[in-house]
Chains A and B, each alone.
Chain A
Amino acid sequence: MELSENIMQLITRHLNDEASKEEQAELESWLRESPVNKQEYDAYVKLWEDSSGIVLKHRFDTSAAWEKVQKKIQPLPGIAPVKRGVVISFKRLAVAAAIIVFVSATALYLYNRNEENSWKTIAALQNNQQVTMPDGTVIRLRKGSTLRYQEDFGDKERTTKLSGEAFFEVQHDEQKPFKVYTADAVVEVLGTSFLVRNTDSLDEVVVNSGRVRFAERGDISRQVILTKGQKAELVNKQFTRDTVLNSNYLSWENGKLIFHNTPLKQAVEDIGNLYNISIVLAPDVKEHADSISIKAEFDKQTLEQVIDEIQLMTGLKASRENGVVVLGK
């Protein structure tokens, strides 16, 4: 069907959200004229959407590129390229070494003394634990996790150290950034709510509201900025960004798992995460796992109940092997 130039122009403007109210009305009345018109219109909408994915046919490595660009735009003072050869005598070197040893020993001593005196520890041993900090920030600490904070928390800055997993609802205070350190990462915010999960192999940050800066601890210039609905993982010094699809990252806190056409692979991961157990798909299931999606809601159910329901829904059978749940045919 050949569309008139006028209609084509209306569609073109409409697709880019540039149609005026009158044009929009005109287009709608044309759509009502016949189902064929609607069909044509739908085809154009589909083309418009499909083409924007297709034009981005290559995936370029943004973090690697940022690293390169970042080096070019912010040369660190003191490591500017040396232009002429420098000869350092042994004597000078020895003096320098002695100074370095002295300074670092003193610093280490002062640092350790400082550590002992001013860090408080909260450990959630038996249960999840909720802490309200002096500044009003609420921290929900997952069972098995430890949070440390300075005694003078909130005086000058708000610094915490986390090992494990916690959800933070940070009171806004522009003057005092809120920081969470893990072994490998630094997360910094002004006021927002977000989750930090830290295991031996990864750090994960999920942002529920506001803006969060997630940096590598060893080199804070390596960082990503996350906003509401975004998450990122830091594994082996590499950041991977993703979109938050559901609220299951908080299941350990509220006991709820919500799957809304969630891919089986993701669902299994979320369940495993909540019950602290490994769930894997048998090889023959893995092959077509992408085609299986789960629609279900669980509210504080036991692992057995959840697994039963997954079995019912997927027709798969669960078995336990060495503490690992395997879903197979």
Chain B
Amino acid sequence: MHIENDLPYQRFQEVFEQYYNPLCNYAFSFVNDLSSSEDIVQETFVKIWEKKQDIITSEGLRFYLFTAVRNNCLTHLQKAKKVPVVELNDYDAADEQMPVRQEVKDETDYRSHLAAAMDQLPPKCREVFMLSRMSKQSYKEIADTLGVSIKTVENQIGKALKILRAYVKDRKMILLILIFLFYFLK
């Protein structure tokens, strides 16, 4: 066995092992499909290896990865838009009740409750918060990835935390409302 002093390759593999899972989860938050998420992340890595070797050993790799995956997800979504996968007529009364039932069932589980709360954050706020928690980047890096100011990132993070805090605090109250709604809708 001969392992040459191939630093970029070693570093590339380390980064892959470290970030593959968070990046796929990040991609999933956009495309909502497991195998597309994996495809997008794998392609991103292959492209970096082929075209951007210089970045592999640089400090900015993590930032680059999250930004590239985000861009590729948006491109993927745009392409997918041309093919209507979900028609409006798929939407029926049975589907409408599903989320409510789901949440009542999961109420006992704090984690899934918090997850549901995160899903319900306002879109911009959610995106900033999710990226922060998945990538553990600095607010500056997040601002650069999303093309907004640091101030905006800090504000959105603060907003997300406040909403989640209120949500966790009030979850007993919310449960009551949900149960009420559930009966009412039935």
Contact = CB atoms under 8 A, between A and B. Distances in A.
B1 A65 contact: no
B158 A8 contact: yes
Main secondary structure of the interface of A (DSSP, over half): helix
A52 B133 contact: yes
Main secondary structure of the interface of B (DSSP, over half): helix
B17 A225 contact: yes
B16 A51 contact: no
A56 B131 CA distance: 11
B67 interface: no
Interface in A57-82: 57-60, 62, 65-66, 68-70, 72-73
Contacts, number: 116
A73 B165 CA distance: 45
Contact of A215 (B1, B38, B115): B1
Contact of B13 (A56, A66, A68, A241): A66
A266 B57 CA distance: 38
A57 B114 contact: no
A72 B139 CA distance: 34
Contacts of B162: 3, 8
Given A8-B158, A43-B168, A225-B13, A60 B21 contact: yes
B3 A47 contact: no
Interface residues of B, number: 44
B14 interface: yes
A46 B165 CA distance: 10
Interface stretch (A12-20, A114-122, A132-140, A296-304): A12-20
B1 A56 contact: no
5 contacts: A11-B158, A12-B161, A51-B114, A65-B16, A72-B42
